[in-house]
Chains A and B, each alone.
Chain A
């Protein structure tokens, strides 16, 4: 520290120094202060500074969290670039007129077929429901408590699981070939 001038000179015989680093009033600071312990700061300032630091860190964290999280890329929607090269395009002869005609007529037949199938299914479900309603009506005429027991919900019914039919029935005594499945799906964390 530099010279410190006092506005009022106190009547003291002992020459006091401006700070304890200055050895005498008129001398400049000769050398760097060498002490064993580092300078002790006052405790109040410490706490305040640490608090201020913590608050700043918290604000930064809040800002980061507020920012919208990065979307996980859906691998299926991104076509890898190697599949859009031109040598990949198939070269086939153009369709003949008969072929297009055949296709259009087939699509129309399919439309009709599917409509008939759908109507038949709906009719079948309708008769199913009607039959059940009739049965419940008769049951109610018979006895009220049986009717109440019948319309109660069956808890054990759902979840209902069933393996669908295959193309060929299972071969008895078939030993499937051994193999290991290594999962290479990429897992993203948000």
Chain B
């Protein structure tokens, strides 16, 4: 540690990501390709047992109709289950099942504070914080205190805003990005030139938690929506370490 006081104040910020729960919709080329692959697979395949059974039963039905068999002594009491009937039954069963919708209510209302929105992309936590005399939307950050590593600063930042019962997997000890800024001339002194904010990334593990613990305003936003809230310089640095 240097003897001279460091002119930069250190902050640790946590970028908490909620990972996607459902798959993203396929692009046009991907859909066409998937269809083509299915077709080629069908062409190159052989008949399965079920299909052979179906073909034979169709043959039998046709022969019966043509030659007009006397059906009564053929199958008096026994009911033969045809492959076609089985398929119809399976189809019915599938239609009865109702899956959860991919576009949730929160999507329709554009409720940005809920975690159930945009299930196919990453959501990050933004918190409104007071810096100096400005209220800004930022990734949750807290000032570094001597005696702790930057990672623990970031963890503390997360705990301050979300409470202790958060299960998040922090990806490594090293910071992912840095945002350096100088204080406005009014506040700047010799040993307080500006601040460095180190960003850490974490994946949210617990799917739902009591969000009542959040005191300040918070938002869960995707990467595209970050531009609505963050300042341009800050946004540029944050976008560098975010994979869409």
Contact = CB atoms under 8 A, between A and B. Distances in A.
A92 B169 contact: no
Given A135-B198, A136-B174, A157-B171, A168 B102 contact: yes
Contact of A128 (B10, B30, B173, B240): B240
A124 B242 CA distance: 8
Interface in B39-67: 42-43, 45-47, 52
Interface string A78-103: 00000100011110100000000001
A135 B199 contact: yes
A146 B100 contact: no
Interface in A124-146: 124-125, 127-128, 130-132, 134-136, 138-139, 142-146
Nearest to B146: A143
A188 interface: no
A171 B196 CA distance: 44
Interface residues of A, number: 46
Interface residues of B, number: 53
B149 interface: yes
B188 interface: no
A170 interface: yes
B149 A150 contact: yes
Interface string B155-197: 0000000000000011111111110100000000000000010
Interface stretch (B18-26, B132-140, B210-218, B227-235): B18-26
A160 B203 CA distance: 11
B186 to A, nearest CB: 24
A70 interface: no
A149 B150 contact: yes
B47 A110 contact: no
24 contacts: A88-B46, A88-B52, A109-B29, A124-B244, A128-B241, A130-B240, A131-B240, A135-B176, A135-B177, A146-B149, A146-B150, A149-B150, A150-B149, A157-B169, A162-B19, A165-B20, A165-B23, A165-B120, A167-B23, A168-B22, A169-B100, A169-B104, A171-B98, A172-B100
Interface of B: 1-2, 6, 8, 10, 19-23, 27, 29-30, 32-33, 36, 42-43, 45-47, 52, 98-102, 104, 119-120, 149-151, 169-178, 180, 196, 198-199, 203, 237, 240-241, 243-244
Given A90-B42, A134-B178, A149-B173, 20 more contacts: A90-B45, A106-B36, A109-B29, A110-B32, A113-B30, A131-B240, A135-B174, A135-B177, A136-B175, A138-B196, A139-B150, A142-B6, A154-B171, A157-B169, A162-B203, A166-B21, A167-B23, A169-B22, A169-B119, A171-B99
